[in-house]
Structure 1
């Protein structure tokens, strides 16, 4: 039975299972702050300022216990564009909603995406201007190493589920770097397109996905052969992607078309699209697999898609008002 808040179901309680006590964190580039959204009520309950207006973060990661968030401060512009470049990462205490620490990378590096590895306990942050992924011990907040990517604009990072391999989407070069995270070296560089954006990995670690920014299609990379094995045609240029918990579907943000495309991973074709507000960017599937959150950049909203039931039933059940240019998403349980 679905739970109802007031006159309308808010989209975050599905089949009686609520995300009580959990929060969705949303990075708002335009406001240079982070929204804290109560997942059970789908309402913004607080914001944390990043400190310097116009110098903002893009992406965020949250520790497994949900108590600490890591927010690299990228700069004043987008990837490959002129502007001020960041050199720090903020550490936010989630329960108190306060900035409690900072990591200084020592020089301007445009730090972008943080990824926590449950296997090693390490925190990885893409550092574009160094053409590397910086390795941080989150317990001490000390930089303990770096993994070279061999490419410029290594913007986004995803890890295999055992933490052994990393894959970066290198925007300007249009490539994907394969990284040995333990040996801290580049294993391969995979040519994809003229330009790429965003990256994700399948639940079984066999496939990596990145969106071609020259043609409306998604690259499907075979992690065994380290080559592009095929393409999925999209209704527009793709952006962020995320697999559903059961591994059957891949959700793809398509900003220009204002939709999320649902890709059937058995046929590698778009099975349907879901309308969302303008400029969908990033997709986060809630850990219980029942809801997908989609940051809609120019709308300043996050769309919550109900993933209960058959794919044909999926739809936006609530729109969460956050801040200007909503982008990166994190989940604090």
Structure 2
């Protein structure tokens, strides 16, 4: 008997979207040297990858139009695979991949959509009824999700809830009445312009930032604002929690400032000037933070242990960033 031994090569990439080049730039994860690129549609914004690292999904919202495109990219061949036409759900932006399901916000349709990637079809749609439903967070169990609705100044809290049987107008339950499992939305007013947000590691708080310089903290159990911080820094745009769960990092796309706030006492720990930050990616494995400074056409790489810049990547109008391991035999 002859046994064949299969060997698998593994590529580890950092992925950065470039609006200028209309490409997904592929970088070596360790050295951050450019190793390739994949063409995408005009005005790419967010990127996520499948669990096995085989595919990337890129949202193409065309913010000043009626975009309806999500690009699917093959990360083994570094080539485009296909385009998902999201019509009638327009301006796809925030995206999350979870268990063969691609969740995305359709801000032009005031909706959140679940797209079944195995069946290549829309599986479920949730109407927020809010303007500019933009960014998205889905809990690991898939039973809750949160969005920021920028122009309505709200956060949507959607929960899959166990409910009693529906009581008909007669006031008498049918003999076969059963409990229901249904989605319910709660809106929390966080102020006009709230966009970037993140959820604490314990799932109890949602932190979001407004362009008027305010950080708003939402108690997700009580579904109400529990605190508000006036940073006095205008243009706050995106916000992420560090991998250790202790610090919130906020960038300003107006002033170019980077703020470090203590999650426990809500105090400012550090303020640096790094460039007009428009997006943040936290890399837990190496404890690095990547900041897309879109107007400045570069990405700043920061060592979170020292809070010092360790690399400066020149990329034309960068936006969404992701890290991925790709297996190939």
TM-score (norm 1): 0.83
Distance 1:134 1:149 in 2: 11
CA deviation profile, 1:165-221 (whole Å, cap 9, x unmatched): 1111101111111112686744201111122112211111111111112x2111111
Who is 1:34 aligned against? 24
Compute the displacement of 1:22 (Å). 1.9
Post-superposition shift, 1:322? 1.9
Quickly say closer, same or farther: Cα 1:146–1:108, change in 2 above 3 A.
Answer: closer
Map residues 1-333 of structure 1 onto 2, 5 A cutoff.
21-51=11-41, 55-75=42-62, 77=63, 83-107=64-88, 109-117=90-98, 120-180=99-159, 185-213=183-211, 215-234=212-231, 235-276=233-274, 278-288=275-285, 290-308=287-305, 313-323=306-316, 325-333=317-325
C-alpha distance in 2, partners of 1:254/1:264? 18
SS of structure 1 residue aligned to 2:119:
coil
Distance 1:290 1:163, change over 3 A: same
Given that 1:137 and 1:144 are in contact with CA atoms closer than 8 Å, whether structure 2 keeps it comes out as yes
Taking a change above 3 Å as real, the CA distance of residues 143 and 132 of structure 1, as seen in their structure-2 partners, is same
Deviations 1:106-148 (A, max 9, x none): 236001111113xx44210101122111101123332111122
Larger Rg: 2
1:274 Cα deviation from its structure 2 partner: 3.1
Quote how far apart the aligned CAs of 1:162 are. 2.7
Q: Do the aligned partners of 2:289 and 2:304 also contact (CA within 8 Å) in 1?
A: yes
CA offset at residue 31 of structure 1? 2.8
* Consecutive unaligned residues in structure 2, runs of 5 or more: 1-9, 162-180
Q: Paired residue for 2:7?
A: none
Matches of 2:54 and 2:237, distance apart in 1: 29
The ranges of structure 1 where at least 4 consecutive aligned residues each deviate by more than 3 angstroms after the TM superposition are 181-186
Name the SS for the 2:108 alignment partner.
Answer: helix
Scaled by the length of structure 2, the TM-score of the pair is: 0.84
Shift in alpha-carbon separation, 1:289–1:160, aligned structure 2, 3 A:
farther
CA distance, structure 1, for counterparts of residue 89 and residue 243 of structure 2? 37
Greater alpha carbon shift after TM alignment, 120-129 vs 164-173: 120-129
CA contact (8 A) 2:29 2:323 kept: no
Provide structure 1 residue ranges, at least 5 long, that are not aligned to the other structure. Answer: 1-19, 78-82
